[in-house]
Structure formats: structure tokens, C-alpha cells
Amino acid sequence: MSTPSIHCLKPSPLHLPSGIPGSPGRQRRHTLPANEFRCLTPEDAAGVFEIEREAFISVSGNCPLNLDEVRHFLTLCPELSLGWFVEGRLVAFIIGSLWDEERLTQESLTLHRPGGRTAHLHALAVHRSFRQQGKGSVLLWRYLQHAGGQPAVRRAVLMCEDALVPFYQRFGFHPAGPCAVVVGSLTFTEMHCSLRGHAALRRNSDR
């Protein structure tokens, strides 16, 4: 199987909705060259897993993806990932893959369906030293613009615990009901988001 080409994102101004804080890089212009957003590669997997393990195990005791699964997705579909690097250090990431059914299933946790039109967001995490700075919000908004700019991708889906539903609603996600996926004793709400509006924002920011 051939490996898809990796799409690097050129720097572009962020158009964030009201209520979402700007990144420190936008507030202090002299730090902009130190901030880089790019798709991840298998070589980034160890750094991704280190952040993911600390972020998720400390809260829920489970990681959405193990290290082999991180490498798996970064090999098959790196264009559906996005990392935020500060002075060359990974500080936040999103890992995604394509899915081809209306709702998520247990299989969707580990599969990439190249013919799918749905970007399934498996994990979003921020390094502990960079939390409470709005980085997760900025990264998610930029990711949705990036995914919406890919012609085959029409929508984004994810599953989250009930406490996080209001956070994702700020970005255009809406609850689709209880998720069929269960991890141990944890249950989730499935969230859907149309990417049409985000694609338009991406095109405008590229002008």
C-alpha cells in the first residue's frame, strides 16, 4: 500500500469564532516564527504517545490509542493529523483517520477507511506545561479548517465524555446521541460537525 503524501500547512492567519482565545503566538508577534503547525509523521509517534498517555491516563485511566496505533495512523493517513510545535517541541496534537459509516462503531477505533468522507478525531491532547493557554481550542479550529480543505472530507466526528460536550459545541459539533463505543466502564456522546463552513474559512485565510 502506498503511503499518502504529507501535506504541510503554510502559515496562515487564524479566524477564530468569538469566545475562543487566541494563541500566545498571535498575541506576541515576535514569537510567531517559533510556532509551527504541520501534519505528523511516524517519527513523531513517540512524542505524541508521551503527551497522550499523561493527558488521558491521569484523567480516565485509558489512552484512546496505544503507541502502535499512533504509528499505524501516522503511516496510513498523516494528512489527517496535526501537531503544534513550539521551538521544535511538540506541545499539542490531533490524530484522525477516515471513516465511512454514519455512526462510530468499535471498529472505528482502529481502522482507517480510505474511501470514507468523515474525519474521525481519535485524540486531542496538550502537553501539561502548555495547558490552560487556549492551545487546544486553537489547534482544533485550525484542524477543522485543514480537514475541511480536503475535497473528500465532508464532516468530522468524535466521541467525548458528557462534560466535554459544551467545549466541542463551540466549534460547530452537535450531539448525535450516545456513542456505540464503550471503553471499560466509560460511556461517550457522539459529536458530529459539518466541515463546509470550515472549508470556506480555510479558503479565505489562504488568500
Scanning the structure block, which residue is given the C-alpha cell 491532547? Answer: 125
Strands 155-160 and 89-99, how do they pair? unpaired
Cα→Cα distances 11→26, 30, 68, 198, Å? 12, 15, 30, 17
The C-alpha cell that represents 54 in the structure block: 499523561
- 168 is known as an active-site residue: yes
> Catalytic site residue 111?
yes
What's the one-letter identity of residue 179? C
Check 120, 122, 146, 192 and give the catalytic one. 122
| CA gap 22, 15 in Å, rounded | 9
SS3 labels along 140-181:
HHHHHHHHHCCCCCCEEEEEECHHHHHHHHCCCCEEEEECCC
Catalytic choice (82, 121, 124, 201): 124
Residue 16 C-alpha cell reads as 477564530
Residue 41 phi/psi, 5-degree rounding, is: -125, 170
What single DSSP character describes residue 19?
T
Catalytic residue (choose from 111, 112, 164, 205): 111
Q: Single out the catalytic residue among 168, 195, 198, 201.
A: 168
C-alpha cell at 180: 456505540
Active site residues: 97, 111, 122, 124, 168
